[in-house]
Structure 1
C-alpha cells in the first residue's frame, strides 16, 4: 500500500509539462514579434530559403540546376522576395524598397534558390503555409511556424532542466543562453534556429540522464532527446556534427562501468536508435545531393563564390581562430544580412555574464565536471576553425558566427547545470544537501541583476533593429514612434515595441520565479541505488 511519501515521490517524478508550455508560449511570442518586425527577406539568405520552402511544399524536392541556383516554380509573391532586398548590406537604407506588387501574387512563376540542395525536412515543415495564402501573409506564416517549432525544442530543453535538483542556477543559465540572435533566427525562414534549439534539447536530455538517473524520468528525457535528435541532424549539412558532440560530451561524467550500465537501459537504446536513424537519413541526403560540396565541385551551379579558395587548411583554421571574438558577436546578435549589429552594450552584457559563468565553472568545478566544462568551451572555440580549415581550400572563407549557435547554447546551459549541481553538493561533499545560497540576499540580488540585464539586452537589440528598418540606423526613436517612417511593420512599430517590452517583463518574472522558487527535493535514496537505476 502506498503512503504519503510514495505520493510525494511520484509528484517529484512528474515531468513539468505546464512550465514547459508556459516557456514555449513566451519564446514563441517573443519570436513572433521579431517575425513581424523584420522585413521580408531581412535575414541571411532568407529569400533563398523562402523559395526553397515554397517549392518543397509543391513537391519540387530539388529543382533544375542553373548558374543562378536551382530553378523551381513558386507563386509570384514568393519569387518577388529575391528583389525585395534593397536594404541588404546598407544599414542606412530603410526597408521601403521600390518594388511594385504583382498583379496576381498567387500566380506561379519560376525562381532560383541557392538552397536547392539543402535537406528538405525543415522546408516541408514550414513551407506548407504558402499553400494557404496567396500574398505575403504566406511568408509571415512560414516565419511563425518556424518560430513555434524552434521555441518548442528550446522549451523542451527547459523542461528537462527543470527536473534537475540544481534547476535554479540552470534556469539562469538557460536565460543567458537565449540570446537576441536565437529569437531572431527562430523568427526567420532559416533552418539555423531550429538546428540550434533542437541540438540544445538533445544535449539537455542526455545531460539530465547522466546527472540524475531516476527511472521515473528517464523515458521523458530519452524521448525528448531522440525526437529532437532526428529533427536536429536533418536541419543543415553540418548538423550531424553538432548533434554528435552534444550527445557524446555529457558522457564524460560517467565511469566506464556506469556508461556500460546506462547503455543497457531500453530508454537510452531507444534514443540512440532514433538519433542514429535520423543521422543515417541526413547523411544519405547530404552525400546523395552533395549539398555541402556542390559549390566546390560545380561552381557553375551557384552565384555564390567566396574569397580564400586554395588557401592552406591550417591557414584557414588560424584565420577563423583569430576572429573568435568577432564571430562570437554572431551568437549574440548580428541581424539582417549581417549588416545590423546589436548595440555595443548588448555585447558587453552577454560577454560579462558568460565570462562570469565560465570563471565560476573553472573555479568551483572539480574532476569530471571540470573536464566537461572544459570540453564544452573547447568545442565552442575549436570546432569552427576545424570546419573552416577543412572547407577553405575548395570553398573559401564561409564561416559565420551564427553557425556556432548550437555549441554556444550547449556550452552556456551545460555550465549552468554543472554549477547548479556543484552548489547543491556544497563544500562538505555529496552528502550535504545545503539550502545556501537560495535564502540569501546575495542570491536574490544576483537573480534580479541578471534577469533585468537580460531583459534590457533583449529589448535594446529589438528596438535598435526595428529602428534600423523603419527610419534607418541613424534615425531617431521619436521619428519611428510618432513621426513619418519610410517603412512600417505589420501592426505598427509602437505597438510591436510595447508588446515586446511587455513580453520581456513576463520573461523577468518567470526567470525570477524559477530562480527563487522552492528548491528541488533531494532524490530519495531508494531512487538512486544501483539496483534501481541499473548502474550496478
Structure 2
C-alpha cells in the first residue's frame, strides 16, 4: 500500500523513537518538574501575581467553601473562613510593586495561629476545580511548608500536561518542528507561572496538551495499525481541565479545536470523532464545558475583576490596546514577580527573535486553510485583548496583562509547528551548528532570567550593578541562590543536550530505537 506524505513522516518519527529510550515521558516529566520546582523555591512566598488571593481561595475550597460569602457589585471580594496562617498571607507582600525592596521585609508564614479566621479573596467566584487540588496541602501541614507544597503540587500538574504536550509532539508528522515550537513556548514567564499558586499556568499547559494530542490522535488514526486512543484520552482530560480553569478558558478550548479542524479539515476530524475513542473524548469535553458554563453563570465569575474606572472611551481604549500589542510581548517572555520585575533587554531580544521566527514560519510555510488559521490566531492575540479591555475601561480602567492571553500565544506557536509538516526540517552539519549555538544561548538566557530574578529579591534592583552584594544578602531562598542557580543551569544543560541529539539525529537504516510511548 502506498503511504501518504504524512504517513511516511510518522513512520520516520517512530524509527527515530521520539527522544529515544533514554528520554521516556517519565524523564521528560522529571526534567520539566525540576525546572519549575526551582522557580517555586527561588520565588519568595507570595511573590507571584495574586498568589495571596489564590492561596486563600484554595484553602477555603478544600474546606467546603467553593464560593464563600460574596459581596455585591463588580470587584467585590468573597469572605471565607481559613486557618489564621493562610488569612495573614496578604501581609507577606511588603515588596510588591517595589523592585528596590528585598524579600527580607516579610516574615515567615508559620508565625500565625491555625485557628479559623475570616479572610477575603478576589478569586472567590473562580471555578473551584484547580483549587480542590492546590488546597490539599493546607489540610496536612502549616507554616512556610504549606505554601511550597501548594506550589509544588501546581508544578506537578503543569509538568504533567507539558509532558503530554511533548509526548504528542514527538509523534506528529512534523515532530521536530513542533518540539522546537514547544521549547520556544516555554518562556521564563511560563515556567515562573507554573511554579506559583495560580490557575493561569494550568490553562496555558492544558491548551497546549489539548491541541497537540488532538492532532496526534488524528494523524495516528490515518496510519493503519497505529494506536491513537491514548492521545484522544489525553486530549479529553486536558480539555476538561482547561474548560474549568478560568473564565476565558472556554475560548482557548474552542480555539484549539478550531485550529485542529483548519489543519486537518472537517472530514478527518469527523472521522475520528465517530470512533469509540472519539465519542468518549467528545462526551468528556462537552460535559466539562457544560459544567464550566454552569459555574460561570452561577457564580458570575466575570464580576470578580478589580480596578478603578477611567474616563477613556471604549473606542480610545481599543485603539490604545492595539498600539500596545507589541509592548505586551514582553509579558509573554517574562515580567515577573507582581509584574514588577522587568528582565534585562538581552533576554527579550533573544526571545523576541525566537518567537518571531516560529510565528513567521507558521505563516510563510503554510497555505490554504492552515495559513488562514495561523493568521487568525495572530489576529486574535492582537484583537482579543483590545476588545475585552474596551468592554470594561469605564468601570475598571486599564487592567489587561499579557499573561491573560499567553495560552493563545502558546497555541499559535504549536499550531505553526504542526502546520508546516510539508517543509523538511533542516539537516546537515550547518544545521547542527546552528542548533548547538541557539540551544546554548537558550540555556544562558534562561539562567540569566533566573539569577536576575533572584538578584531582585536578595539585594533589590536599585539601578546599580550590585551582583557581588548577593553573596552577603540578608534574604536567601530555599537551598541558597547559588545552589539553585547551579542546579537550574545543570538541568537546562542536560535538557538542551538531549534536545540537540534529537533534532540533529538522522536515523540509520535498521536502527532499533525504542518509541517514547
Q: Same fold (TM over 0.5)?
A: yes
Structure 2 match to 1:427: none
SS for the counterpart of 2:88 is helix
Choose which of 72, 85, 89 in structure 1 pairs with 2:93.
85
CA distance in 2, matches of 1:443, 1:452: 14
Stretch deviating more after TM superposition (322-331 or 142-151): 322-331
Structure 1 match to 2:57: 52
CA distance in 1, matches of 2:239, 2:181: 22
Shift of 1:186: 0.3
1:247-266 counterparts in 2 under 5 A? 247-266=257-276
Choose which of 456, 460, 464 in structure 1 pairs with 2:448.
460
SS for the counterpart of 2:298 is helix
CA distance in 1, matches of 2:456, 2:146: 24
Render the CA deviation track for 1:52-72: whole Å, top value 9, x for unaligned. Answer: 111111112122235872222
1:369–1:418: 8 Å Cα contact kept in structure 2? Answer: yes
In structure 2, the CA distance between the partners of 1:258 and 1:341, relative to structure 1 (3 Å rule), is same
Structure 2 match to 1:476: 466
Where do 5+ consecutive residues of structure 2 fail to align?
A: 1-10, 510-517
Choose which of 182, 196, 209 in structure 2 pairs with 1:201.
209
CA distance in 2, matches of 1:13, 1:173: 19
1:35–1:143: 8 Å Cα contact kept in structure 2? Answer: yes
Where do 5+ consecutive residues of structure 1 fail to align?
A: 1-7, 296-303, 425-435, 522-536
SS for the counterpart of 1:324 is coil
SS for the counterpart of 1:110 is strand
Render the CA deviation track for 1:422-456: whole Å, top value 9, x for unaligned. Answer: 223xxxxxxxxxxx732x11211221122112212
SS for the counterpart of 1:86 is coil
Render the CA deviation track for 1:228-268: whole Å, top value 9, x for unaligned. Answer: 00101111111111111111122112445444434423322
Shift of 1:294: 4.7
- Tell whether 2:150 aligns with 1:142: yes
- Tell whether 2:382 aligns with 1:381: yes
CA distance in 1, matches of 2:17, 2:108: 55
2:14–2:171: 8 Å Cα contact kept in structure 1? Answer: no
1:14–1:217: 8 Å Cα contact kept in structure 2? Answer: no
Between the two proteins, the alignment pairs up a number of residues equal to 490
1:125-274 counterparts in 2 under 5 A? 125-212=133-220, 213-214=222-223, 216-274=226-284
In structure 2, the CA distance between the partners of 1:514 and 1:83, relative to structure 1 (3 Å rule), is same
Choose which of 426, 449, 456 in structure 2 pairs with 1:437.
426
TM-score of the aligned structures, taking structure 1 as reference length: 0.86
2:18–2:502: 8 Å Cα contact kept in structure 1? Answer: no
Structure 2 match to 1:114: 122
Structure 1 match to 2:500: 512
Measured on the aligned residues, the alpha-carbon RMSD in Å equals 2.5
Shift of 1:93: 0.5
Stretch deviating more after TM superposition (258-267 or 314-323): 258-267
CA distance in 2, matches of 1:267, 1:410: 24
CA distance in 1, matches of 2:68, 2:499: 46
